[in-house]
Structure 1
Amino acid sequence: MPKPSDTLWDIAKAEVEKKENLEGNGDGVEVWEKSLLFMGNKNGGKTTIILRCLDRDEIPKPTLALEYTFGRRAKGHNRPKDIAHFWELGGGTSLLDLIRIPITNDNIRTFAIILVLDLSKPNELWPTMDSLLQVTRSHVDKIITKLGKTNPKVATEIKQRMWNNMPKDHPDHELIDPFPIPLVIIGSKYDIFHFTSKSEALLLKARVLINHLAFGFDRSKSVSVDQNKPLFIPAGLDSLNQIGPPPASDSDIGKLHAHTPVDLWKKIYEKTFPPKSTSDLKDVNDPAQDPQYAEYEVDAMRAQKNQELEQYKRNASKSWKEMEFES
Structure 2
Amino acid sequence: MPKAGDTLWDIARDEVEKRENNGDDGKRVEVCEKSVLFMGSKNGGKTTIILRCLEREEVPKPTLVLEYTFGRRARRHNAPKDIAHFWEIGGGTSLLELIRIPITVNNIRSFAVVLVLDLSKPNELWMTMENLLQATRNHVNKILAKLEKTDPEVAAEIKQKMQNNLQRDHPDYDLVDPFPIPLVIIGSKYDIFHFTSKSEALLLKARALINHLAFGYDRSKSVSVDHSKPLFIPAGLDSLSQIGPPPTSDSNIGKMRANTPLELWKKVFEKTFPPRSFSDLQDSKDPAQDSQYAEYEVDVMRAQKNQVCACSSIALHNQEFEQYKRNASKSWKEMDFDPD
Same fold (TM over 0.5): yes
Q: 1:142 Cα deviation (Å)? A: 1.3
Any idea what the Cα deviations from partners look like across 1:23-43, whole Å, max 9, x if unmatched? 897647332211000000111
> CA 1:25–1:147 in structure 2 vs 1: closer, same or farther (change >3 Å)?
farther
Q: C-alpha separation between the residues in 2 aligned to 1:79 and 1:17?
A: 12
- Mapped to 1, the partners of 2:23 and 2:131 lie a distance apart of 39
SS class of match (1:73): strand
Tell me the equivalent position of 1:254: 254
Query: 1:152 corresponds to which residue?
Result: 152
Residue number in structure 2 paired with 1:84: 84
Counterpart CA distance in 1 for 2:323 and 2:157 is 68
* Shift in alpha-carbon separation, 1:250–1:54, aligned structure 2, 3 A: same
What is the CA–CA distance in structure 2 between the aligned matches of 1:251 and 1:224, rounded to whole Å? 31
Q: Do the aligned residues in 1 keep the contact of 2:258 with 2:264 (CA within 8 Å)?
A: yes
Shift of 1:17: 6.7
CA distance in structure 1 between the partners assigned to 2:186 and 2:227 by the alignment: 15
Structure 1 unpaired stretches of 5+: none
Cα distance in 2 for residues equivalent to 1:227 and 1:91: 29
**What is the letter of the counterpart of residue 241 of structure 2?**
N
- Computed over aligned residues only, the root mean square deviation of the Cα atoms, in angstroms, reads 2.5
Aligned to 1:279: 279
Describe the superposition over 1:134-185 as per-residue Cα deviations: whole angstroms up to 9, x where unpaired. 1111111111121112222111111111122223321111111111110000
Map 1:108-147 onto structure 2 (within 5 A). 108-147=108-147
Query: For residue 265 of structure 1, what is the aligned residue in structure 2?
Result: 265
Residue 304 of structure 2 aligns with an amino acid whose one-letter code is: Q
Contact 2:21–2:28 (8 Å) recurs in 1: no
What is the aligned residue count?
325
Which segment is superposed worse, 26-35 or 147-156?
Answer: 26-35
Change (3 A) 1:24 1:252: farther
Does the CA-based 8 Å contact 1:22-1:31 persist in structure 2?
A: no
Name the CA shift for 1:302/1:224 in 2 (closer, same or farther; >3 Å).
Answer: same
Question: Residue in 1 aligned with 2:53?
Answer: 53
Q: Where do residues 1-327 of structure 1 align in structure 2 (5 Å cutoff)?
A: 6=6, 14=14, 18=18, 21-22=21-22, 27=27, 29-326=29-326, 327=329
Distance 1:76 1:263, change over 3 A: same
- Asked which structure has the greater CA Rg, the reply is 2
Farther off after superposition, 35-44 or 296-305: 296-305
AA paired with 2:288?
Answer: A
Distance 2:254 2:100 in 1: 40
Q: TM-score by structure 2 length? A: 0.89
Aligned partners of 2:20 and 2:81 also within 8 Å: no
AA aligned to 1:304 is Q
User: Contact between 1:119 and 1:125, CA under 8 Å: does it hold in 2?
Assistant: yes
Distance in 2, matches of 1:184 and 1:102, equals: 17
Alignment CA distance shift 1:261-1:319 (3 Å): same
8 Å contact from structure 1 (residues 33, 110) kept in 2: yes
Q: Distance in 2 between matches of 1:193 and 1:137?
A: 32
**Separation in structure 2 between the aligned mates of residue 324 and residue 183 of structure 1, nearest angstrom:** 59
1:91-127 alpha-carbon deviations (Å, 9 max, x no partner): 1111111101111111111000000000011011111
Note the residue ranges of structure 2 that are not aligned, 5 or more in a row.
330-340
| Deviations 1:188-224, CA, capped at 9 Å, x for gaps | 0001111111100000000001101111111111110
User: Sequence identity, in percent?
Assistant: 74
